Amino acid sequence: MATCNGLTLFFLVLAGGVAKATAFACGGAGACQAMAGYVPSNETTYKAVKELFQLDSILALYGANGLPPTTLPSAKLRGGAAVRVPFPCACKGGVGVSDRRPVYTVAENDTLFLIATVKFGHLTTYEQIQTVNGIKNADLIEIGQKLWIPIPCSCDPAKETVPAVHLAHVAAPGSVVAAIAAEFGATEKDLLRVNNMSDPKSLQAYQVLDVPLRACDSSIRGNAEDGSLRVANGSYAFTASDCVECGCSASSWQLACKMSNLSSTNSSACRAPTCDVGMASRPLQLGEQVTVGCNSTRCHYAGYYKSSGLNITAVAVTNQSTCTGAPSSSSASDLRPLLSILFAASLLFLSL
């Protein structure tokens, strides 16, 4: 039932401030991966969450939560406990919203209010659902009707050029901004700024807050199929048809990618790329690093391209390490004063 006209209307309504809706700032036009902090009302499973949000793979859910890929889909999730759900975000007109997903099928006894609050944990409002689906009367929906569920999101960097994965966080009753900021490693000031809030006391129960989670810097090329991939600290993601696993850690803030364990089941399509570097005696495997002296080179992932089959690309990135007290290759001239002193001392010794 959702149409392109509904999408345009939704962005116009948010930009005009007419509808009572939560909107995240999202500069320019583009797409990215965002996350929702989904809080189920009752006990559920990872499989049920995957189906509710229409994820392509349950591995995406595991990766967003830093869970082992071997986690059972039937593993229980208790009601009231938040789980991070990745979803595609689209930016237009200065705001972001989930890109045509998820789509919910109306069941018996459903209402728009029930769908927004209970089924999707307050991540949206019944007014937003009504707007994007072009529903004239919120009380008139039919069993089997398909409804696009809009979730606010953003693709903006956290600060200047610092990459981020934006999390839609639902403020529980009694929450305070300072505590939410501390939970996600942010400051109250930054959280207020991102959400255009002047007073932390204005936070309302079930308000959806934009929480930018810092992501790792990436070597993936912008024109690659996965050029928009962003991975937040403490999480991982599979890409290149699950051939490559990329993780993010605060220890380096550099996206670390390697051939996934899943690639063995798809070995014919998963061709491991290598990096040819002069300082190594052999090509480096994806994710491998070699250090010679103060120079450290790692074989980084640069993306894949469907147009030429599953063509996975690697690129070598060399960094200068901080070897304490070790002179760099460009510091030979700094030894000249010392050599002059030694030469003068030797002449003095010979003259005695």
Cα–Cα distance measured from residue 143 to residue 173, given in angstroms and rounded to the nearest whole number: 32
* Contact status, residue 168 vs residue 153, Cβ threshold 8 Å: yes
- Average pLDDT value over all residues in the chain: 84
- For residue 121, what pLDDT band results from cuts at 50, 70 and 90? very high
277: confidence class by pLDDT, cuts 50, 70, 90? confident
DSSP collapsed to 3 states, the chain:
CCCHHHHHHHHHHHHHCCCCCCCEECCCCEEEEEEEEECCCCCEEHHHHHHHCCCCCHHHHHHHCCCCCCCCCCCEECCCCCEEEEEEEEEECCEEEECCCCEEECCCCCCHHHHHHHHCCCCCCHHHHHHHCCCCCCCCCCCCCEEECCCEECCCCCECCECEEEEEEECCCCCCHHHHHHHCCCCHHHHHHHCCCCCHHHCCCCCEEEEEEEECECCCCCCCCCCCCCCECCCEEEECCCCEEEECCCCCCECEEEECHHHHHHCCCCCCCEECCCCCCCCEECCCEEEECCEEEEEEEEEEECECECEEEEEEEEEECCCCCCCCCCCHHHHHHHHHHHHHHHHHHHHC
pTM of the model: 0.82
Query: Per residue in 206-239, pLDDT tens?
Result: 999 999 999 999 999 988 999 889 999 999 999 9
Q: What is the pLDDT of residue 320?
A: 58
The pLDDT of residue 255 is above 60: yes
Q: Summarize the confidence of residues 122-135 as an average pLDDT.
A: 96
Rounded average pLDDT over 260-277? 78
User: 339 or 12, which is more confident?
Assistant: 12
Residue 16: what pLDDT? 39
Q: Can you give the pLDDT at residue 246?
A: 96
Percent of the chain past pLDDT 90, that is, above it, reads 61
Give the pLDDT confidence score for residue 336 in this predicted structure: 34
Q: Which residue has the tokens 């304490």?
A: 324
Supply 119's token pair. Answer: 């089924």
List pLDDT tens digits, range 34-70. Answer: 999 999 999 999 999 999 999 999 999 999 999 999 9
Q: Confidence band (pLDDT; 50, 70, 90) for 12?
A: very low
| In the chain, where the domains are located | 4-214, 236-320
93 versus 19: which is more confidently predicted?
93
**Average pLDDT rounded to a whole number, residues 191-209:** 95
Asked if pLDDT for residue 117 goes beyond 80, the answer is yes
How many CB atoms sit inside 10 A of residue 69's CB?
Answer: 15
Comparing 98 with 351, the larger pLDDT belongs to: 98
**pLDDT tens per residue across span 77-91:** 999 999 999 999 999
Write down the pLDDT at residue 282: 85
pLDDT category at 349 given cuts 50, 70, 90 is: very low
308 vs 152: which has the higher pLDDT = 152
Q: Could you read off the pLDDT of 309-348 as tens digits, one per residue?
A: 667 888 877 665 656 654 433 333 333 333 333 334 443 3
What is the pLDDT at residue 308?
62
pLDDT given for residue 345 in this prediction: 40
- pLDDT of 293 strictly over 60: yes
Mean pLDDT of 274-283: 80
> Per-residue pLDDT for 30 more than 60?
yes
9 confidence band (pLDDT: 50, 70, 90): very low
Q: What is the pLDDT of residue 123?
A: 98
